[in-house]
Homo-oligomer: A and B are copies of this chain.
Amino acid sequence: MQVLVASNRGPVSFGRAEDGTLTMRRGGGGLVSGLASVAAGTDLLWVCAALSDADRTAARQDPEGRLDKAGHDTGAVRMLDIPEQTFHRAYNSIANSTLWFVHHLLYATPTAPHFDATFRRDWQAYSAYNAAFAGALGQDAEPGAKVVVQDYHLSLVPGMLREARPDLRIAHFSHTPWAPPAYFRLLPDDIGIAILEGMLGADHLGFLCERWAEAFLACCDEILGARIDPVAGTVTYRGRTTRVGVHALGVDGPELRERAGQADVAERIAGLREQVGDRQLILRIDRTELSKNIVRGLAAYWELLLNHPEWRGRVVHLAFAYPSRTDLPEYRAYTAAVERLAAEINDEFGTEDWTPLILQVKDDYARSLAAYQLADVLVVNPIRDGMNLVAKEGPVLSEKGCALVLSREAGAAAELSDDALVVNPFDVSQTAETLNQALLLSGDDRRNRTKRLADAATALPPGRWFAEQLAALD
Binding site for B on A (CB under 8 A): 105-111, 113-117, 119-120, 180-183, 185-189, 215, 290-291, 293, 295-296, 299, 303, 306-307, 330, 334, 337, 383, 409, 424, 426-430
Contact = CB atoms under 8 A, between A and B. Distances in A.
B108 A429 contact: no
Q: Which of A109, A296, A330 has the most CB of B within 10 A?
A: A109
Given A105-B109, A120-B429, A429-B120, A114 B188 contact: no
Contacts of A291: 110
Given A428-B115, A429-B120, A334 B110 contact: yes
Contact of A115 (B107, B117, B180, B427): B427
Contact of A116 (B181, B337, B429): B429
Nearest to A408: B185
Nearest to A331: B110
Contacts of A187: 426
A290 to B, nearest CB: 4
Contacts of A107: 108-109
Contact of A189 (B111, B290, B293, B424): B424
B424 A188 contact: yes
A386 to B, nearest CB: 15
Q: Which of A295, A334, A428 has the most CB of B within 10 A?
A: A428
Given A189-B427, A424-B188, A182 B105 contact: yes
Number of copies: 2
Contacts of A409: 185
B185 A114 contact: no
Contact of A183 (B183, B307, B424): B183
Contact of A106 (B110, B116, B293): B110
A367 to B, nearest CB: 26
17 contacts: A106-B110, A109-B426, A110-B383, A111-B337, A114-B299, A115-B424, A115-B427, A116-B299, A116-B428, A180-B181, A185-B409, A185-B424, A186-B426, A188-B427, A188-B429, A188-B430, A189-B424
Contacts of A189: 424, 427, 430
B110 A109 contact: no
A446 B352 CA distance: 76
A303 B116 contact: yes
A110 B109 CA distance: 12
A216 to B, nearest CB: 13
A107 B110 CA distance: 8
A115 B429 contact: yes
A194 B338 CA distance: 32
A182 B182 contact: yes
Contacts of A307: 117
A94 B350 CA distance: 33
A335 to B, nearest CB: 11
A120 B433 CA distance: 13
